[in-house]
Structure 1
Amino acid sequence: MPSLPSSSYLIPILLLLGSNVFMTFAWYGHLKYKHAPLLTVILVSWGIAFFEYLLMVPANRMGSSVYSVVQLKTIQEIITLVVFAGFSAWYLGQPLKWNHYAAFVLIVGAAFLMFYDGPAPAH
């Protein structure tokens, strides 16, 4: 039976997930309020981004001790896509189409390659 990942691997991912929720709202939440003044939207977005940074910086600091920087960035990008897909459908009312899902599958395939070390050398 496979063991669960240790907290040193899991905590950075959970922090990245939380930070991406904040950042998605900071970057795209205002699209639901297009009547709001641009300066107001920018200031609110900065305020939301502050909380994103409170999670993202520790996630990267902790994550870099167990993942390569390339792997960490790949994890972050996959999380960003998952969070944005849900946000787009749930908050903005713009569900994904088949081609979005197909593109996402290709991106996940690319992410797999980031973590693949190849077969073990023969002895």
Structure 2
Amino acid sequence: MRGLITIILLALSNLFMTIAWYGHLQWKETSWLKHAGIWSIILFSWGLAFFEYVLQVPANKLGFKANGGPFTFFELKTIQEALSLIVFTLFLIFVVKSEKLAWNHFVGFGLIILAVIVIFKKW
């Protein structure tokens, strides 16, 4: 159960991260961000990043082996990176909509899946 909660919290954390890093690029023409300066956008992104950390720190604490969770440092980081790419891709498909997935993206994702398998494999 701790593993599942960790993954859910990390996925939600990545959603906030993706919006903080890239949301202002997408919504600059349709919101107050259109007239915002760089410092306003930085503060807006920091505000969103706060929620990223509110979710990510407990996820790592819950999921870490030394705290009773199922994951090592490498496994936590691997989960986080894989989720980051999944959330980012979904953001591009459903929010940005101007970028199209190509064959090289699928090959890259396949290699990332392979990396996850290698990291989690107990040799």
TM-score band w.r.t. shorter chain: 0.7 to 0.9
| Distance in 1 between residues matched to 2:105 and 2:38, nearest whole Å | 29
Report the alpha carbon displacement of residue 95 of structure 1 after superposing the two structures with TM. 2.5
In the superposition, the TM-score normalised over structure 1's length comes to: 0.86
Count of equivalent residues: 112
Which of the numbers 77, 80, 84 marks the counterpart of 2:84?
80
Instruction: Identify the structure with the greater helix proportion.
Output: 2
Which of the numbers 97, 100, 103 marks the counterpart of 1:95?
100
Partner of 2:72: 68
> Which protein shows a greater Rg?
1
In the superposition, the TM-score normalised over structure 2's length comes to: 0.86
CA-based RMSD: 1.2
Q: Spell out the pairing of 1:98-109 with structure 2 (5 A cutoff).
A: 98-109=103-114
Which of the numbers 10, 16, 25 marks the counterpart of 1:22?
16
* Unmatched 5+ stretches in structure 1: 1-6, 119-123
Runs of 4 or more above 2 Å deviation = none
